[in-house]
Each structure stands twice: as structure tokens, then as C-alpha cells.
Amino acid sequence: MGKLEGKVAVITAATSGMALATAKLFVEEGAYVFITGRRKEKLDEAVKLIGRNVTGVQGDAANLADLDRLYQTVSRERGKIDILFASAGLGELATLEQVTEEHFDKTFDLNVRGTLFTVQKALPLFNDNGSIGSIKGCPAFGVYSASKAAVRSFARTWLVELKERRIRVNILSPGTIDTPILDPLGAEAKERFKALIPRGEMGRPEEIATVALFLASNDSSFVNGVELFVDGGTAQI
């Protein structure tokens, strides 16, 4: 029996990289998974790749109407949520002088506003003793770092607000992971990232997925309110 047998999971922005690897692993461990993505063709590809026990719902985590449609689908098809993995997020390079109003609003709309309402709108469907996790999969720079700090603050508050329901809230903070989002930066930039990591190579999406499985399963039943760095030790040196 898998670690998530009979569980229902919702994973936002799971059409590639770490979130897609997590969705695949959750299904392998017995969960039924709902995934979202903004582009239908990518969402359909992800559903096909996962292969079974998965429903794709097109939508943007920053759009409240799309979130409503997501949870209406979950309610109609499964009637509950055991695991919520809010993985939608973005990070764009911009120095202090380069930050624009558009850059700020775009980052906070998805990373902060989107995460907040992704969790809030899921609560009526949430089983007690469930698990909420948030993942941000981009290098942290400037405005992005501030949005990540806001999500960290959310987790501290939510774990207290949801304690009567025994719902755990944790943050998974990846280091530099070799995903398609880094491809536009080029080989030279990737080599610079590698040089900052003690083992000399970037993480793989599957290495994030296994940690997400730990946080979602009963293996982490006494883990609550943590920010778990999965970065190969980069933050420690």
C-alpha cells in the first residue's frame, strides 16, 4: 500500500518541473491528483504523462474564478481534499532600480494573493488531519524574496488558525533545480548556479517530489510550520 493510498491531492501549476514530478509520485503512492495549468496543451500533456488517477483543470492560481472552478471540479468528482500543494509561483530578475509596478504586481498577485486564495478556497473541502504545503520553484531575487517571506508568514499564522482541525502547514523551499524554467538563462548561468551548490550540481525535480511526499504523508505527522530547505546545503554556506 502506498503512503497516500485513498488520499485526494490538489497541486497547482503542475504541468512541468518539480510540481509535475510531485504529482506523478503522489499518484504512484496511491493518491488521486487534481492538477492545474494555464496552457491547455501543456496540461493535457501532463495528464497523459501521469497516466491515471488524475484530472487536469485549466486555470491560473491568481484568478479567483479559476480557483472556484477548480474546487467545484474537486467537489463534484471526489468531494474532499486531503493534501493541497500550492506550487504556483514565479520569480523574475530585477534590481531595485529595475523594479516596476507591473513586475511587483505580477509577482505578488501570483505568489502571495494566489497562494492565499488557493488555500482559503480549499478549506471547505479539506479533511481534518490534512496537509497544506507551499513550494516556490524559482531563484529568490528582490521582490520574489519579499513574496516568499509573506508566504512564510502565512504558514505561521495558518498552522495556529487550523490547529483544531489538525491541518498541518509547511513550506518547501527548493534550491536551484534543473527545470525548464532555467533554460532561457543559458549554460553559463547554469554553471554559475552549480558552483554555489556544495555537491557541484543542481537538484532534480524528483528530489523535490520525494520531500513533498514526506510532508504530505503521515511520515511527517509531527512536522508543522517548518520551512524545509531542499537546496543541497546552499543556504548553509
Q: What is the pLDDT along the chain (237 residues), one digit of tens a residue?
A: 899 999 999 999 999 999 999 999 999 999 999 999 999 999 999 999 999 999 999 999 999 999 999 999 999 999 999 999 999 988 777 888 888 999 999 989 999 999 999 999 999 999 999 999 876 555 446 788 888 899 999 999 999 999 999 999 999 999 889 887 777 778 888 888 888 899 999 999 999 999 999 999 999 999 999 999 999 998 888
Every domain of the chain and the residues it spans:
8-179+205-229
Active-site positions? 144
Give the number of other CB atoms < 10 A from CB of residue 24.
21
Taking each helix axis from N to C terminus, what angle separates 17-28 and 205-216, rounded to the nearest 10 degrees? Answer: 50
**Domain 8-179+205-229 in CATH 3.40.50.720:** yes
Residue 203, C-alpha cell as written in the block:
537538484
Return d(Cα 56, Cα 35) in angstroms, integer: 5
| Secondary structure element (H or E) that encloses residue 144, with its range | helix 142-161
Q: What is the DSSP code (8-state) at residue 232?
A: T
